[in-house]
Amino acid sequence: MITDARGILLAITLTGGNRHDVTQLLPLLDAIPHLKGRTGRPRHRPRQIFADRGYDFDKYRRLLWQRRIKPIIVRRGTLHGSGLGTVRWVVERTNAWIHGFRRLRIRWEARDDIHEAFLKLACCLITYRQVQAFC
């Protein structure tokens, strides 16, 4: 799952629970729709990626640089307190909100499309609650 700095969901890929996250990094980046906003050609890739130690592979760093994406990934073996927590907490918070829905906490659905539909519905409800707080 990729969210932007405001916690808005940009892309989802659904895989089995026994897959390593880094193997789905590039398909997840390809799933990001065109980002609207400024005039001109819409962006369809982020400028930078924040990730934890699980994504610390030189192969994926090179592939991100080739796509003109700056990888900000903590190196394995470094001390905690790298400063990534100031941005990374948005994704963790969004995951915690999604886990607030009992049906999504543990995947009971056998079909991917049904599980993904519930996931998108949960994201809609989370966004609605956040917008409602501003009104």
Report whether pLDDT(3) > 80.
no
Residue range 2-134 forms a domain whose CATH class is: alpha beta
- pLDDT at residue 18, rounded to an integer: 66
8 A C-beta contact, residue 46 and residue 2: yes
- Which amino acid makes up residue 123? C
Of residues 64 and 42, more confidence is placed in: 64
Q: What is the pLDDT of residues 57-75, one digit of tens each?
A: 889 899 999 988 888 887 7
pTM attached to this predicted model: 0.56
Report whether pLDDT(82) > 60.
no
8 A C-beta contact, residue 101 and residue 118: yes
Average pLDDT of the residues in 15-32: 74
Domains in the chain: boundaries: 2-134
